[in-house]
Structure 1
Amino acid sequence: MNSIHSVAIIGAGALGMLYASALKKTPDTEVHFLAGDDRYESLKAGRFVINDFEEQIDVRSAAQLREHPDLVIVAVKNHHLEEIVPLLRAAIGADTVVTSVLNGIDSEPFIEDRFPDATVLYCVALGMDAVRTANRLTFTNQGKLIIGTKDNDPRNPDLLAVGELLDRSGLTREIPDDIHRAVWWKWMINIGVNQVSAVTGAPYGVFHTDEHAQALMEAAMRETVLVAQAEGVDLREEDIANWYPILNRLGAEGKTSMLQDMEEHRRTEAPSFGGRLIELAARHGIPVPVNETLVRIITIRELLYLQEA
């Protein structure tokens, strides 16, 4: 692929809105949300408010697609992946590139398993502090996208095309030596800060300064490092410390996606974070008591508010 000029984004949450807003301002680039029937009805007006500015972003259903987009960005939560398979089937053509900005370690393999002929780039969305309420998004830091191929080929033409699009859009991107290590590093971060924020209600500012929040976050991350090493992934103790420069740049009032889910009484991604880690730890006989406790607390709190709904 020489260049990308059409982008479909599946998922109009915080990341979907953030990237749609940036990409739609890119010259010679057509951007739209792709939504299933129920979601389409609620989004079709296409009105979004991003950092207090109203923006119009095209929203389409699968039936309204007239051609396959050059790029599909998957930006739903992990527990919605199965639901969007029909949308992916409608969107993916022979030359379509697919990338996922989901947290966790399973979304790319999920897409590859169901669409074995698709071109899937691995991706990590890092360092944004976006907060969404309905169709309103606020953020102070767009963060960056870390992208790579399954075989870590930095010269892959599809990877270069996506990188060139991000450069044109003003979105910061990076191609690492090992994308799988990057995916696990971000997962380690999610397992630490997302879960602890969900249990405590703490925004990023608390993690900037409070030693108790930091200690609990680091303990959950440390268990992730042990499991990663058992899985053959090169995570290390110093990777925990390397998170702090990024954390400290996030807005103090910003909140993790899991804390936002808790506050809005939505299903959380705890099964894809600590829950998935617990599964892998059991395979290797590694105790992960901190994550077991965090997942239990989140699961109980989620059960209570979902029962009330």
Structure 2
Amino acid sequence: MKTIRSAAVLGAGALGLLYLQSIQKQLGEACYFLAGPERFDSLNRTEFKINSKGIRFHTRNPLLEELKPDLILIAVKNYHMDSILPLLQAASGPSTIILSVLNGISSEGILEAALPGSTVLYAAALGMDAVKIGPDLNFSVKGKILLGSKDNSETEELLRVANFLNSCDIEYQIPQDIHRELWFKWMINIGVNQVSAVCSATYGLFQKEPQLRELMNKAMLETIEVAGAEGIQLGTSDLERWYKLLETLGPDGKTSMLQDIEAGRKTELDSFAGELIRRAGKQGIPVPVNETLYSILKVKEQL
């Protein structure tokens, strides 16, 4: 089996930095940020700090040079998907494996349509508590990547990436059904991310405040109902699974949506409650909690 000798990361947020740091230790200059002209210079000159330790990363522009790395890991926000497709199309080739850790349940289908010559794996990042402010990233738990192929078979590309993540000291798991795991992660996003952004709540508050947990639960139970209507079997045992994971997170950690609200950035709301409301409408399922969260967060975004 061929090994992965070159890798690129698209996205310099918390996840992009978290994974690129680990990959750079393994590949050195053969790993780099992918960036177009609008971000190239700023990424190239920035010294990031990860848990207070300074680090720089290489940056390359696939619109100006032939790259074709073995692996491209995508860690941008959902609403940037359309804008990054030209970079991905320029950078990828028939031997390129695409790994998206975007939140939500839609990115892989978009990537498969846009990059028919490449292999798209299915993935979700779970259990990290990273907080990024400007160029500084702090975390206490790296979490893991849930990893799979479209038909849940152990393909050569899947095993290559698994072996590579292991060599980079990035924890991963290959579940029996990656599609169920994507919905499980989406359920978490819809619950804790949105409620944290409305209530300005850290993970520590969710760990000890029953009323916060009750609101989070209601948003997630609506997701479970829609999942069932779409053939994905989630249940209350998945809530318990999430509670156990929640207890492992640093109490000062914040969800990505809360960080976006605090920084005055656009959030992934349309990929969370927005997408759930659309799917629920098609199934005739009421989702009043998520409709309320959506309305509140839309106002907070506009303000």
> Are residue 187 (structure 1) and residue 194 (structure 2) matched?
no
- In 1, the alpha carbon distance for the partners of 2:249 and 2:214 equals 19
After superposition, the C-alpha distances for 1:150-196 in whole angstroms (9 at most, x for unaligned) are: 00002x11000100111101111000000000000000000000000
Q: Select between 62-71 and 156-165 the one with higher mean Cα deviation.
A: 62-71
For residue 21 of structure 1, what is the aligned residue in structure 2? 21
Using the size of structure 2 for normalisation, the TM-score is 0.98
Find the counterpart in structure 1 of residue 173 from structure 2. 174
Q: Does 1:76 align with 2:76?
A: yes
What's 2:282 paired with?
283
Q: Could you tell me how far apart the structure 1 residues matched to 2:65 and 2:236 are?
A: 47
| Structure-1 residue corresponding to 2:224 | 225
Q: Is the 8 A contact 2:93 2:117 kept in 1?
A: no
Change (3 A) 1:29 1:44: closer
What residue is the counterpart of 1:67 in the other structure?
Answer: 67
* SS at structure 2 position matched to 1:121: strand
Alignment deviations for residues 86-110 of structure 1 (CA, whole Å, 9 cap, x no partner): 1101111110000100000011111
Q: 2:239 — aligned with what?
A: 240
Amino acid at match of 1:52: S
Q: Secondary structure at the match of 2:26?
A: coil
Provide the rounded CA distance (Å) in 2 between the counterparts of 1:97 and 1:29: 19
Which residue identity does 1:18 align to in structure 2?
A: L
What are structure 2's unaligned runs of at least 5 residues? none
Structure 1 segments (4+ residues) deviating >4 Å? none
| Matched residue, 2:115 | 115
Deviation of 1:30 after TM superposition, in Å, equals 2.0
Q: Quote how far apart the aligned CAs of 1:66 are.
A: 3.1
Structure 1 residue aligned with 2:105: 105
| Structure-1 separation of matches of 2:208 and 2:223 | 23
Cα distance in 1 for partners of 2:11, 2:187 equals 23
1-structure distance, mates of 2:67, 2:283: 46
Conservation of the 8 A alpha-carbon contact between 1:26 and 1:168:
yes
Q: Aligned to 1:33, what secondary structure does the other structure show?
A: strand
Aligned to 1:307: none
| Superposed counterparts of 1:1-309, under 5 Å | 2-26=2-26, 30-154=30-154, 156-304=155-303
